[in-house]
Chains A and B, each alone.
Chain A
Amino acid sequence: MSSIWTDMTSAALLGSSRGVVSVALPGSLDALLRDTTDETRLLRAAGILGLAQTAAMVPPVSEAIPESAPEDDTAVGKPELESLMGRIIQNANIDLLKEACALLKQRGFNLPARLLPRALDMGQKKTVLRSPFRDVLGKRGAWLAAQNPEWKFALLAGTETADSRIWDEGDVTQRADWLAQLRSTDSTAARELLEKSFAGEAARDRALLLPALGQNLSASDEPFLSGTLSTDRSKEVRQIAAGFLSALPESDFAKRMIARIVPCVQSAKKLLRNGTVIEPPPAFEKDWKNDALEEKPLPSHKIGERAWWLQQITQLTPLGWWEQHLKLAPDEILAAASKSEWKDALLAGFREAIKCQPSHTAWKTALLSMAGFSSEDAANLALELPPAESDAALQRILKQGDNCVVSAHIIQNADYAWSQELWLALLQALPKLLKMQDWRFRPAIVTLACRIPKALLHEEIQWPDISLFSESVADFTRTLEQRRTLHKLLPS
């Protein structure tokens, strides 16, 4: 039959005006083609054959039996919970999704099968959701992911987290989590494991894996970090290594940085008591490049070259050196720095330095309480602290309630469970913030629904009637309702 089709199709493609069409149908069917034009014969034959083919359809047989998913009875069984998860996935609020995944995981539940494709699609698009989803995709999710190359990140979903297969076969975010976990229990083993595979990893993956060493950093890490600093081809990776080395005051790197900062900090004791004069480096030395220092600032930085060099050196100098060298406490150092004509570069350097040297708590407190520190800078710094410290700092900023852009920034970036105090500080500031009617505050409103501490989920919130925000408030209400149901169905 297929050869008739081929003949007919080529006749039709070419056109009967260009050739003789001789269509014949098998057996008695051919009688149906009599007494008419060539064109009608062809059309009628196509109609009859098309019909015959549909009517006499015999599908091909495949011997290969499809592989079924491994047994897994951990999927959510409750219909209410299943439909709630469907709504939460549709809502696509990242914070809410993270919370829902965490609660499901806590109870040992996985997502219902019908929601897995949507979750896998979202995880593929939004990297931040990969880890939360992996915890609730289960073996069924991993089985599904194995059939779609786009869903590679979920190949090891449902695997025990202690399984070392994660390191060998997992997605990079999963491997980074796993490495950080190992680092917290056996720091040497973690470093050695990373060192073994490091050269073979892609640049993007190296930049995602190396930060795991930030925990339990010690002098024994220096050789690996120095090696990485001098040989790695990725600037981003070299900068991460440099940051870690700056947190090791005894390292050669730290000593080189100190040697570079010393000429910039001149004591002016003779003229003014405790006076310190800051003078940025006059030139960019050739070997500085090897220590991940950049000669040219990005045009967007709007900073002069010398100031830029000073900022980078400040950033990579051990904070403890300043205290020893100037014999001053951090708040006094900052007070002196803010009087310098190079204060912008210095303070920016200190703010960056504290990120790589987080153990210097006194510096954080000093930086945060500094007068003249803009609430934006304070918020950014506070957001980089561990939650407990961050929380207290953010409370102070929110209580001022005078800058809705900064407040929106805080709301959207402090993505952990807020303390009641932080939430109450925000609630106090909220009427003032909303009345500014700044559209930039709008996206923060729905996020707020995810920041309310669990204990306060059922408190009423009075929203001033501002039409600019009415849609966002509706969004807030829907999201909050989903959270309430979530906690009702999955009490932790």
Chain B
Amino acid sequence: MAPDDASLKAGRGLMNPTKWPTLGKSETALWGECQGSGKKPYQVSVDPSGPAFKCTCPSRKFPCKHGLGLMLILAEKPASFKAGDPPLWVADWLVSRKDKAEKKAEAAVEKQAAPADPAAAEKRVEKRLKRMKEGGEEMERWLSDQVRNGIATFPQLSSSHFTSLSSRLVDAQVPGLANETARLESLVHSGEGWPRRVLAQLGRMQLLAEGLKNYDSIPIGLQGDLRAYLGWSFEKEEILAYQPHVQDEWSVLGQTFIEHERLWERRTWLFGSNGKAALLLDFAHGSRTFPVPLVPGIRFKAALAFYPAAFPLRALLAETPASATVVSTPFPAYPDFNTAFEEIATALAANPWLYNIPLAIEGVTPVYQNDQWLLRDSKGAIIPLASQRLDAWELLAVSGGKPLRVFGEWNGDSLHVMSFWADHFHTFSTT
């Protein structure tokens, strides 16, 4: 209990009760007055249950030799203490101690409800937002530089032209913008017609940067969407605790796996019974094994918590999937492309940065002509089909040239079909 050997020795030196003009004790405290070097004796109080000490001596050591001395007398000569009500100076100390203890307990309770000190949390958010905004400004300057110098030389530039910006954006805690930069680079090498695709992506990045600049003044929901594209994720616990849970029967309609330096990302698309789409993102280190197995073609009951967004898509499983069966009825789908695109326009009005939009359409026929894969809807409208070669052939083989119902991701240019319905639910042999 003693802070060091010297204090203990000094304490022992005070064990003689004659050095203490008064020595008293109550149920909750010990006290004594000890003659020190000064005129007025030091007033020493001890709460042995703590133990807690209070002394009027100027020593910086804690507990001081006087407190220790009292405890030692209690241990070896308890009879030296005269029982009675504590004097006023002791009583005051005891009351103040009790108040503090209660406040501490209250604070602990409050802490449990709001885990972080809200002020500190706010400070952290401010700090991060500041760094992110600096990153966004840096990207904006970079974008302007590109357009000033001309993008004609992009295909000849080394990869570091883009990756150095990416890594600066990661440092600025906007990894989502780093991903946008990577996509920009891939579009540079996307073949004929690349300048227009690259320019559209540069424009998209400009709008993201401007969104970040005005982060504080945009609506809360849109802030959530923007955060997703900036790579500023929410704590899972926050989402589960504060977002409403949506109970439904969910069908797994599509799944892709992406690997980044041994980090596996699993993207799983779910459809609720009314066609409400949800995207689950899971991450696993080292291998492609995930704690909750989700396989396309299964259907399960669960509550999902959606991330805050103007057009909510990303969600978390709020409970373990239950009563899993197979997808045995056709999933809800739009009747044709134009109806789907009208819905997409509404979604984009809510979230202008939306990308990879889930889309289910019925009455679609795959067509292969002039080395191009297309999907044709019941009204004859055609859009490009973006799927791996064998998947596209498989879709055509199963269709037999007849209309079927497809589900996929729409990236603004083409539909990447992930599953389809023709008599029963199909995914592709490659996946």
* Interface residues, chain A, with chain B CB atoms under 8 Å away: 5, 8-9, 11-18, 37, 39-40, 42-51, 53-63, 65-69, 86, 113-118, 121, 140, 143-144, 147-148
**Interface pair A67/B401, CB less than 8 Å apart:** yes
* Complex: chain B residue closest to A63, CB-CB: B380
**Interface pair B203/A9, CB less than 8 Å apart:** no
Which residues on A sit within 8 Å (CB–CB) of B150? Answer: 12-18
- A117–B390 alpha-carbon span in the complex (Å): 7
**Interface pair B429/A86, CB less than 8 Å apart:** yes
Considering only residues 175-225 of chain B, those with a C-beta below 8 Å from chain A are 195-196, 198-207, 210
B143: interface (CB < 8 Å): yes
Interface residue tally for chain B (C-beta within 8 Å): 54
| CB-contact partner of B203 in A47, A59, A66, A86, under 8 A | A47
**Interface pair A16/B348, CB less than 8 Å apart:** no
Considering only residues 359-409 of chain B, those with a C-beta below 8 Å from chain A are 365, 367-368, 374, 376-377, 379-383, 390, 393-394, 396-398, 400-402
Would you give 21 A-B contacts (Cβ < 8 Å), ordered by A?
Answer: A11-B147, A12-B151, A13-B195, A15-B150, A43-B143, A43-B202, A44-B206, A44-B207, A49-B200, A50-B203, A51-B204, A51-B348, A55-B344, A56-B341, A60-B381, A62-B374, A68-B400, A68-B401, A116-B393, A140-B397, A147-B396
Known: A39-B148, A47-B204, A50-B204. A55 touches B348 (CB 8 A): yes
Known: A16-B148, A54-B344, A62-B380. A144 touches B203 (CB 8 A): no
For residue A144, give the distance in angstroms from its CB to the closest CB of chain B.
5
Which residues on A sit within 8 Å (CB–CB) of B382? Answer: 59-62
Known: A48-B207, A55-B344. A43 touches B147 (CB 8 A): yes
**Interface pair B393/A144, CB less than 8 Å apart:** yes
**Interface pair A13/B394, CB less than 8 Å apart:** no
For residue B270, give the distance in angstroms from its CB to the closest CB of chain A.
23
Binary interface encoding of chain B residues 33-44 relative to chain A, with 1 for a CB under 8 A from any of its CBs, else 0: 000000000000
Which residues on B sit within 8 Å (CB–CB) of A17? Answer: 148-150
* Complex: chain A residue closest to B196, CB-CB: A9
* Interface residues, chain B, with chain A CB atoms under 8 Å away: 140, 143-145, 147-152, 195-196, 198-207, 210, 337-338, 341, 344-345, 348-349, 352, 365, 367-368, 374, 376-377, 379-383, 390, 393-394, 396-398, 400-402, 412, 426, 429
For residue A75, give the distance in angstroms from its CB to the closest CB of chain B.
10
Given contacts A47-B205, A65-B380, 5 further A-B contacts (CB under 8 A): A9-B199, A12-B202, A15-B148, A55-B344, A69-B402
* Complex: chain B residue closest to A18, CB-CB: B150
**Interface pair B376/A48, CB less than 8 Å apart:** no
* Complex: chain B residue closest to A72, CB-CB: B400
- A50–B180 alpha-carbon span in the complex (Å): 15
| CB-contact partner of A46 in B199, B337, B380, B398, under 8 A | B199
| CB-contact partner of A43 in B206, B338, B412, under 8 A | B206
**Interface pair A12/B195, CB less than 8 Å apart:** yes
- A58–B383 alpha-carbon span in the complex (Å): 9
For residue B126, give the distance in angstroms from its CB to the closest CB of chain A.
26
Which residues on A sit within 8 Å (CB–CB) of B398? Answer: 113-114
Select the residue from A42, A61, A66 with max chain B CB neighbours within 10 A: A66
- A42–B203 alpha-carbon span in the complex (Å): 8
**Interface pair B341/A58, CB less than 8 Å apart:** yes
**Interface pair B412/A143, CB less than 8 Å apart:** no
- A115–B390 alpha-carbon span in the complex (Å): 10
Known: A46-B203, A59-B338, A86-B429. A118 touches B401 (CB 8 A): no
Which residues on B sit within 8 Å (CB–CB) of A47? Answer: 200, 202-207
For residue B62, give the distance in angstroms from its CB to the closest CB of chain A.
62
For residue A241, give the distance in angstroms from its CB to the closest CB of chain B.
42
**Interface pair A66/B376, CB less than 8 Å apart:** yes
For residue B148, give the distance in angstroms from its CB to the closest CB of chain A.
5
* Complex: chain B residue closest to A68, CB-CB: B401
- A43–B200 alpha-carbon span in the complex (Å): 8
**Interface pair B344/A51, CB less than 8 Å apart:** no
**Interface pair B401/A59, CB less than 8 Å apart:** no
For residue B140, give the distance in angstroms from its CB to the closest CB of chain A.
8
Which residues on B sit within 8 Å (CB–CB) of A5? Answer: 196, 199
Which residues on B sit within 8 Å (CB–CB) of A12? Answer: 147, 150-151, 195, 198-199, 202
Known: A55-B349, A59-B383, A62-B382. A16 touches B204 (CB 8 A): no
Which residues on A sit within 8 Å (CB–CB) of B195? Answer: 9, 12-13
Select the residue from B337, B379, B398, B402 with max chain A CB neighbours within 10 A: B398
For residue A484, give the distance in angstroms from its CB to the closest CB of chain B.
23
Select the residue from A15, A47, A117 with max chain B CB neighbours within 10 A: A47
5 tightest CB-CB pairs across the interface, nearest first? A15-B150, A46-B203, A47-B203, A68-B401, A117-B393
Which residues on B sit within 8 Å (CB–CB) of A86? Answer: 429
Which residues on A sit within 8 Å (CB–CB) of B397? Answer: 113-114, 116-117, 140, 144
Known: A12-B151, A66-B376. A40 touches B206 (CB 8 A): yes
- A445–B144 alpha-carbon span in the complex (Å): 65
- A407–B150 alpha-carbon span in the complex (Å): 69
- A9–B200 alpha-carbon span in the complex (Å): 9
For residue A53, give the distance in angstroms from its CB to the closest CB of chain B.
8
For residue B200, give the distance in angstroms from its CB to the closest CB of chain A.
4
